[in-house]
Structure 1
Amino acid sequence: MFELKKILGAMLMPLPLFGLICALCFLIALRNNKVAAFSGLLVTCALMLISTPFMGQKIVDPSTQLQYVFNSKNHSKIDKIVVLGCDLIPNPNLSANSQLGNCAKSRLVEGIRLAYLYPHAQLIVSGGGYGKVTNSHLMQQTAISLGVKANRIKQNPAAMDTADEAKFLAPALVDFKVALVTSSSHMRRAKDLFNAQGVDVIPAATDFYDYSAWPVHKQYVPNVNVLLAVTRQWHEVIGRGWIAVRRWIDPEAL
Structure 2
Amino acid sequence: MFELKKILGSMLMPLPLLGLFCFIGLLIALRSNKFSAYVGLITISCLLLISTPFIGQKIIDPNSQLKYTFLANKQPTLDKIVVLGCDVNPNPQLNASSQLGNCAKSRLVEGLRLANIYPNAQLIVSGGGYGKITNSSLMQQTAISLGINAARIKQNPAAMDTADEAKLLAPSLVDFKVALVTSASHMARATNLFNAQGVDVIPAATDFYDFSAWPAHKQYIPNVEVLKAVTNYWHEVLGSAWISMRRWIDPEAL
The CA RMSD over aligned residues, in Å, is 0.3
Q: CA deviation at 1:212?
A: 0.5
Give the SS at the match of 1:7.
helix
In the alignment, what sits opposite 1:147? 147
Q: CA deviation at 1:67?
A: 0.4
In the alignment, what sits opposite 1:174? 174
Deviations, residues 33-88 of structure 1 (Å, cap 9, x unaligned):
00000110110010000000000100110010000000001100100000000000
In the alignment, what sits opposite 1:17? 17
Mapped pair 1:247 → 2:247? yes
Mapped pair 1:197 → 2:197? yes
Distance 2:48 2:159 in 1: 35
Distance 2:13 2:235 in 1: 25
In the alignment, what sits opposite 2:36? 36
Distance 2:100 2:229 in 1: 18
Give the SS at the match of 2:22.
helix
Counterparts of 1:107-146 in structure 2 under 5 Å? 107-146=107-146
Give the SS at the match of 2:78.
coil
Q: Which amino acid aligns with 1:179?
A: A
In the alignment, what sits opposite 2:69? 69
In the alignment, what sits opposite 1:232? 232
Q: Which amino acid aligns with 2:103?
A: C
Distance 2:102 2:240 in 1: 23
Give the SS at the match of 2:125.
strand
In the alignment, what sits opposite 1:45? 45
Distance 2:14 2:129 in 1: 29
Q: CA deviation at 1:121?
A: 0.2
Q: CA deviation at 1:16?
A: 0.4
Q: CA deviation at 1:243?
A: 0.1
Give the SS at the match of 2:93.
coil
Distance 2:168 2:101 in 1: 23
Distance 2:247 2:38 in 1: 39
Q: CA deviation at 1:186?
A: 0.1
Q: Which amino acid aligns with 1:92?
A: P
TM-score by length of 1: 1.00
Distance 1:78 1:199 in 2: 14
Distance 2:157 2:71 in 1: 29
Distance 2:4 2:48 in 1: 20
Distance 2:98 2:29 in 1: 45
Name segments (4+ residues, structure 1) moved above 2 Å. Answer: none
Give the SS at the match of 2:179.
strand
Distance 1:182 1:86 in 2: 9
Deviations, residues 187-225 of structure 1 (Å, cap 9, x unaligned):
000000000000000000000000000000000000000
Distance 2:5 2:28 in 1: 29
Q: Which amino acid aligns with 2:206?
A: T
TM-score by length of 2: 1.00
